Amino acid sequence: MRIRLVLALGAAVLFSLAAAPVAGAAGHPGTVTMTTHAHNVTLFSMPVTNPCNGQAGTLTAVAANEVFHFTKFTNSDEFWVTGTDEGTASFTPMDPSGVSASGHFVSWFGESSNQKNDVQHDTNTFALQGSDGSRVVVHATDHLSTNANGVVTVNFSNFKFSCS
């Protein structure tokens, strides 16, 4: 999964948490902290190409467990947000006679922002077993750092997959 997906999820959580009432929120003096837990959440279902055999199909990820944590200073724009999802993933080929696959995934993202910088990073791993006995493992890591002027100081994406 690319950083765009993680950023979209992070932004959705960030905006929903920022808009949430702070009454009863735990945290240290001067901060608001919120943590949410969810189960059996469909994160996405999107068209993809199987990297091992080139078949077109749909990749679906359902988080059995999802945790989002958000901390914000009450007197500034400084915040931290992190999220972890783990659950099942499946690949359904467009051709019904094609190779389907299912397995496990884990995904983590984090962002911290203050007046001096903003750092966003994520890591994702999908391990699927094909109906023909094949195995595909996909791992992606992304990082983006900007300084106080919004200038990108570090930016990389590592994407690896293996087929067996």
> CA quadruple 2, 150, 108, 37: dihedral positive or negative?
negative
What pLDDT is stored for residue 27 in this prediction? 53
Taking the C-alpha atoms of residue 88 and residue 54, their distance in angstroms, rounded to an integer, is 22
User: 90-118: buried (b, 16+ CB within 10 Å) or exposed (e) per residue?
Assistant: bbebeeeebbbbebebbbbbbbbbeeeeb
Average pLDDT of every residue of the chain = 87
Q: Is 50 helix (H, G, I), strand (E, B) or coil?
A: coil
pLDDT, one tens digit per residue, over 71-117 is: 999 999 999 999 999 999 999 999 999 999 999 999 999 999 999 99
pLDDT at position 18 over 60: no
pLDDT, one tens digit per residue, over 117-159 is: 999 999 999 999 999 999 999 999 999 999 999 999 999 999 9
User: Closest by alpha carbon to 49, among 59, 40, 39?
Assistant: 59
Taking the C-alpha atoms of residue 47 and residue 35, their distance in angstroms, rounded to an integer, is 31
Taking the C-alpha atoms of residue 23 and residue 80, their distance in angstroms, rounded to an integer, is 19
What Rg do the C-alpha atoms of the chain give, in angstroms? 18
How many C-beta neighbours within 10 Å does residue 83 have?
22
Taking the C-alpha atoms of residue 129 and residue 8, their distance in angstroms, rounded to an integer, is 28
